[in-house]
Amino acid sequence: MAFDLVIRGGRVVDGSGTGAYRADVGIAGDRIAAIGRLAERGREEIDADGLVVSPGFIDGHTHFDAQVFWDPHGANSCWQGVTSVVMGNCGFTIAPVHDEARALVLRNLERAEDIDATALAEGIDWTWQTFPEYLEALERVPKSIHYAANIGHSALRTWAMGERAFEEEAGEDDLRRMREQLRAALLSGAIGFTTSRSEHHETSDDRPVASRIASWDELHALVDVMGELGIGMLEGGTEGFLSPNPEEREIVFEHVRRIAIDQSVPVTAGLIATREGGRAMLDRIDRIAAAGGRMIGQSHCRGISVLLGFRTRLPFDVLPEWIPFRERPLEEQKRALRDPETRARLAKAAMEGDYDRWRGIGAMPRKPDWDGIRVFDRGLPPWPSIREVAAERGVSPAEAMVDLALESDFECLFIQPSLYPQDEEVLLDVLRHPRTVMTFSDSGAHLSQICDASIQTHLLGHWVRDAGAFTLEEGVRMLTLEPAQAWGFADRGLLREGMLADLNVFDPETVGPAVPRIVNDLPGGGQRLSQGATGFAATVVAGEVAFRDGEATGRHAGRLIRNRRAMGNG
């Protein structure tokens, strides 16, 4: 047999969770053609001696809907071994959209997903209005990885209702238009429908995003379309599970139970592994399964955290003493902070500031947790807390942050847990639960605050190698077969003959996330967090070496993944 690519002599970890073995992998076209001891040479070869060969990783929760039009690579997921992503989560998509009402769709995205407004305006060549037309546009753009697309509730509402989507419940005509467009989207290849009821999802003009205005009756009517067609999974809508009000939690559960059981539509949602909330959600997932429904919790292996720094944002930015200072150019800020009087005044304000007074303004207006804020000086933990660093230096935590920033030319970043810090014991229970998938990265969104595209390499570097909580075979299965099964991707997630040739070749002793850095490469020169990884020799997408030694090769074999019941499935 003639092979286009042979990956020779690697340690095959095939995604099934069973033991690794040494073998060659031969690829012909876009498929795995043979696994074993191969005498035939390939047109191209990769020496994998001492390295792991695994299926490409799959991320089920991303927001690449806009980025895919200006970034052919799929950063930052592509650097972490991810070869297939699911986008359009939390109700946020850029289709359907009317030509004259694009601003309404972008209003939903700009703050809630922290995506640069200039990049959205300059980076998208709007050639669609309906969701099927959007999918056709996705087919045409060059892609180094594969993309599956959900249709989002907020976009669907604004397409049907215009400005009223942010103010009113849907009428009969509105609902009819939404149902028709949802049906067209699913029949053309959308893999699901997504929504959000989260109080944290607001528009750029301080209003709830459109999906939050929708009634439960509206959501059930839309889900009915999915049930009638037998297509797709509902993502989101469970945010009330975190409510302190037990009655509200039970109401939300009854609606989710109705969707999963009575309407026969699978449900998936993010699962924050707090001590009370994480275990309570696992219990609800199990109750739905026991009643015959299907619900999948999307877990995170590090804990959703915000990145802080002088080149991006600081908790102090909301304080009156800091606001005019932070409006100055960075070089002026550096010079000012070298003045002992200015440094002391600003540090005192940071330590004593009334953060509660400013709650609700911006992304991080809360009192700094000096034990929780850690110096992000390496890709994997442990990271020293800023309080520990301050004690070693004999200064206040705020002064320590200033000193570290000046010493690094403002490059130093700090990592702070979100409002819902995860409990490590509960997190491990969540990661091991049979009805959860480790996939909650949000990659493509939160460009200036959160950098969680690296959860796949964090899992392998921290939980598999350093902590020993999972075997390598278990870790790879969590990143490949489990998400493939959850989202119905039958041709990937396993290293088997006949499967799509999406593979990673990596060093298990060095694989892990790199320290993030801030770059200005968005359309219009906007800023984002960039995070690479270590340990990858190659990532193969549809038989083509898309990334080698952490660098893009310029090959764009990625495709649009349509649901299996749609015509022209990718």
DSSP state of 476: H
Residue 385 in tokens: 């807390």
Residue 382 to residue 462: CA distance in whole angstroms? 10
SS3 of residue 183 by DSSP: helix
In order of start, what are the domains of the chain with their CATH numbers?
Answer: 57-304+420-555 (3.20.20.140), 306-416 (no CATH)
Residue 314 to residue 291: CA distance in whole angstroms? 47
Residue 489 to residue 487: CA distance in whole angstroms? 6
pLDDT for 570: 46
Residue 116 to residue 47: CA distance in whole angstroms? 41
Cβ contact 60:543 at 8 Å: no
pLDDT tens sequence for the chain (570 residues): 899 999 999 999 999 999 999 999 999 999 999 999 999 999 999 999 999 999 999 999 999 999 999 999 999 999 999 999 999 999 999 999 999 999 888 887 776 567 778 888 899 999 999 999 999 999 999 999 999 999 999 999 999 999 999 999 999 999 999 999 999 999 999 999 999 998 878 877 878 999 999 999 999 999 999 999 999 999 999 988 877 788 999 999 999 999 999 999 999 999 989 888 899 999 999 999 999 999 999 999 998 888 999 999 999 998 999 999 999 999 999 999 999 999 999 999 999 998 876 544 444 446 799 999 999 999 999 999 999 999 999 999 999 999 999 999 999 999 998 767 789 999 999 999 999 999 999 999 877 778 899 999 999 999 999 999 999 999 999 999 999 999 999 999 999 999 999 999 999 999 999 999 999 999 999 889 999 999 999 999 999 999 999 999 999 999 999 998 874 444
SS3 of residue 507 by DSSP: coil
pLDDT for 48: 98
pLDDT for 42: 98
Cβ contact 470:463 at 8 Å: yes
Each residue of 455-474: b (16+ CB within 10 Å) or e? bbbbbbbbbbbeeebbebbb
pLDDT for 451: 87
pLDDT for 205: 80
Cβ contact 387:393 at 8 Å: no
Each residue of 363-377: b (16+ CB within 10 Å) or e? bbbbebbbebbbbbe
- Report which of 540, 479, 480 is spatially closest to residue 31, judged by C-alpha positions: 540
pLDDT for 229: 97
Pairing status of strand 146-149 against strand 21-28: unpaired
Q: How many CB atoms lie within 10 A of CB 497?
A: 12
pLDDT for 244: 77
> Which residue bears the tokens 């200006």?
70
Residue 386: enclosing H or E segment and its boundaries? Answer: helix 386-393
Residue 544 to residue 143: CA distance in whole angstroms? 12
pLDDT for 362: 43
Cβ contact 274:421 at 8 Å: yes
Strand ordering across the sheet containing 414-417: 305-308, 414-417, 374-375
pLDDT for 419: 67
Residue type, 425: E
Residue 503: enclosing H or E segment and its boundaries? Answer: strand 503-506
SS3 of residue 437 by DSSP: strand
Q: How many CB atoms lie within 10 A of CB 344?
A: 14
Sign for the pseudo-dihedral over CA of 459, 464, 469, 475: positive
Cβ contact 396:390 at 8 Å: yes
